[in-house]
Amino acid sequence: MKIICSKLNLVKGVNIVSKAVPSKTTMPILECILIDATTDIIKFTANDMELGIQTEIEGEIIDRGMIAIDAKIFSEIVRKLPENDVTITTDDNLQTTIVCEKAVFDISGKPGEEFSYLPVIEKEDSITISQFTLKEVIRQTIFSISDSESNKLMTGELFEINNNMLRVISLDGHRISIRKIALRDEVNNKKLIVPGKTLIEISKILSGEADSMVNISYTDNHVVFEFDRTIVVSRLIEGEYFKIDQMISNDHEIKIRINKKELLNCIDRATLLVKEGDKKPIIININDEVMELKIKSQIGSMNEEIYINKEGKNLMIGFNPRFLLDALRNIDDEEITLYLMNAKAPCFIKDDEESYIYLILPVNFNAVS
Amino acid sequence: MKIICSKLNLVKGVNIVSKAVPSKTTMPILECILIDATTDIIKFTANDMELGIQTEIEGEIIDRGMIAIDAKIFSEIVRKLPENDVTITTDDNLQTTIVCEKAVFDISGKPGEEFSYLPVIEKEDSITISQFTLKEVIRQTIFSISDSESNKLMTGELFEINNNMLRVISLDGHRISIRKIALRDEVNNKKLIVPGKTLIEISKILSGEADSMVNISYTDNHVVFEFDRTIVVSRLIEGEYFKIDQMISNDHEIKIRINKKELLNCIDRATLLVKEGDKKPIIININDEVMELKIKSQIGSMNEEIYINKEGKNLMIGFNPRFLLDALRNIDDEEITLYLMNAKAPCFIKDDEESYIYLILPVNFNAVS
């Protein structure tokens, strides 16, 4: 194989596919990037068997062929080359020579045939949304997946297509995050549970442009994201996702309008007094026109008042401050609305259209604190 | 005690003195910042018994007094307060209240009297250099101190005042870094061994402005740096520093002019093939007009050529690439001069005025590689 690509294009390609190179694996071939120049197009592929990424690289093919090269070494080398054209040549012994200006690297590769290609997916159905929307939706929900493997379903997000609406849902047992997007085209109803890791990695690759689209196609076992010149294939998580709609009620006794930034900064300050792993709740005392927030720990205590616009009764309720912070940091609205019932029922933060809904369970507290 | 300071001034003061708060200590009082408002000036002090920093804070003293507050908590609190005036009040039980707008923090302090004040130094002699110069000189030499406590002298830098010149010297057994600065005023000859940690921390506090001066005064046991409204006091390392001048010879058989950036980038690329802890040398093959650099490891091999301007014989010599990198990264010249003797003698990188001298010992290598 002999190909010539600019350093820039190589770096771009390596950065994209590296997201699917496993950090630990018992199969050394998976630590490689496959450089495939067997057709008229140069393609880089990486695959950790759950998640696979393939991207096309602009460049010239002098001799067709393919080679698998250790992803870490290859990525470090191309990154440090001068900004110029790079020639990559392999010989019959899989010895790979990378030449750029006067710099010559020699490293050994592995046979491309040993590489696990991406699974070929018979696309049954698909939806199209912008890169911007997909990236935002992931950011706004990914924080409330669970990282514990003890409940596999919670490590993923539900992509629920229903009546030409896409709902993306995550939950970890203490809170639920939901974002809703209208789809442009008619599409069949479908539920996919996409692994959180896939979404985290894809979100790093997405340019986030509003006028560049992502095609999302799926079968019962796989989901395929296609955008720019990149294909991301991921296994789906098997199983029946939680019945969300039963948990979301529209009942409320208290409705509060509050400035998001003031609330966010106040809780952020309060968490200073809570050490990592400590479960001190923040106590919210809701009165007419004013909300008092209090926290008390071994380190000290804090209290602060924020003006609010309230409908309904007064209430004292406690929350894990980090759960409130996570939700508030991912809402773009300046003014937000909180809906509450009583000290034991969840708090909802949502907009009128329910384009976002954050449900957070309260925690018990001693009324004295 | 009751004082009012802007959040900004508090943050500035805390950032400065925090550099002298020990990360580990058996004396809890040392984990505190002392707020001293017993005179007309508000002063913050921290002291790890080796290094002490005191800085003046602009603000209003309502009631005189002092208090020691946990540095970590205090610094986190002031950082997260709204951008406004902050009132700090203490009561008879050392309970400290920090109020900013509607946020109220309560934490407990410790008696200021328990705090270790900075030692009072009878200043014998002093020099004055700009903040810019001091910061640069530290950056350009600090990388070649040793972090091993087995030879205490090597963990510091020699500040040698001789004939109105200041030489700052560090060495770690494999290399020596020297910077030389002309002093403006007449001053007695003196040698100080300043702990590397002191220099690292002071360098973080220095604004680095060329028209702001640092006064450096010293006794046999202490050095005091005074700048802006800050005083840094540090113990000196006791002992007799290494005899540097015997190691620096002006003899050479080969003199090479080379572009610094080309050499730096080439060695930077070569080190990709060397794993952390591995001691693979880079082999430099000096010929007329061209220098060939080669490295070979388990991962692969690299070679590259750089045009040079050479006087003297040809030579093949090996170096630890990281030592070359450290020196090259800290030289500002575009073109540099290397002086060599033979494969077993050190390489010198220096300018004509010897305002900087970097000595690097070569390493053995098998001529075959």
CB-nearest to A104 from B106, B272, B304 is B304
pLDDT at residue B110 tops 90: yes
β-bridge pairing A290-296 and A315-319: unpaired
Confidence at residue A366, expressed as pLDDT on a 0 to 100 scale? 65
Confidence at residue B326, expressed as pLDDT on a 0 to 100 scale? 97
Are the Cβ atoms of B272 and A102 closer than 8 angstroms?
no
pLDDT at residue A288 tops 70: yes
Percent of chain A residues topping a pLDDT of 90:
88
- Return the residue in B69, B80, B98 with the most chain A beta carbons within 10 A, the one to mutate for interface testing: B80
Q: Which residues in chain A are contacts of B269 at CB distance < 8 A?
A: 77, 80-81, 103, 105
In 3D space, the residue among A258, A364, A260, A254 whose CA is nearest the CA of residue A320 turns out to be A364
Measured CA to CA, the distance from residue A51 to residue A197 in angstroms comes to 9
The residues with which A54 forms a beta bridge, in sequence order, are: A45, A231
Confidence at residue A368, expressed as pLDDT on a 0 to 100 scale? 42
Question: Which residues fall within 8 angstroms of residue B332, CB to CB, at 6 or more apart?
Answer: none
A236-268 confidence digits (pLDDT tens): 999 999 999 988 887 899 999 999 999 999 999
Closest alpha carbon within chain B to A304: B103
Burial class (CB in 10 A: 0-12, 13-18, 19+), A97: middle
Q: What's the DSSP call for residue A253?
A: S
Whether the CB-CB separation of B142 and B157 falls below 8 Å is answered with: yes
Burial class (CB in 10 A: 0-12, 13-18, 19+), A62: middle
Mean pLDDT of chain A: 94
Q: Which residues in chain A are contacts of B82 at CB distance < 8 A?
A: 265
Confidence at residue B275, expressed as pLDDT on a 0 to 100 scale? 82
Confidence of residue A313 (pLDDT cuts 50, 70, 90): very high
CB-nearest to B302 from A104, A268, A302 is A104
Whether the CB-CB separation of B142 and B155 falls below 8 Å is answered with: no
Torsion of CA B6, B8, B13, B16, to 10 degrees: 180
Q: Which residues in chain B are contacts of A290 at CB distance < 8 A?
A: none
pLDDT at residue A317 tops 90: yes
Q: What are the C-alpha distances in Å from A221 to residues A144, B14, B59, B268? A: 23, 55, 65, 45
In 3D space, the residue among A262, A263, A218 whose CA is nearest the CA of residue A237 turns out to be A218
Kindly state the average pLDDT of the residues A214-234.
96
A75-104 confidence digits (pLDDT tens): 999 999 999 999 999 999 999 999 999 999
- Return the residue in B272, B274, B290 with the most chain A beta carbons within 10 A, the one to mutate for interface testing: B272
| pTM across the whole model | 0.91
In 3D space, the residue among A354, A276, A357, A279 whose CA is nearest the CA of residue A318 turns out to be A279
Mean pLDDT of chain B: 94
The residues with which B309 forms a beta bridge, in sequence order, are: B257
CB-nearest to B80 from A107, A268, A300 is A268
pLDDT at residue A197 tops 50: yes
Interface residues of chain B, partner chain A, Cβ below 8 Å? 70, 73, 76-77, 80-82, 102-108, 265-266, 268-269, 272-273, 299-306
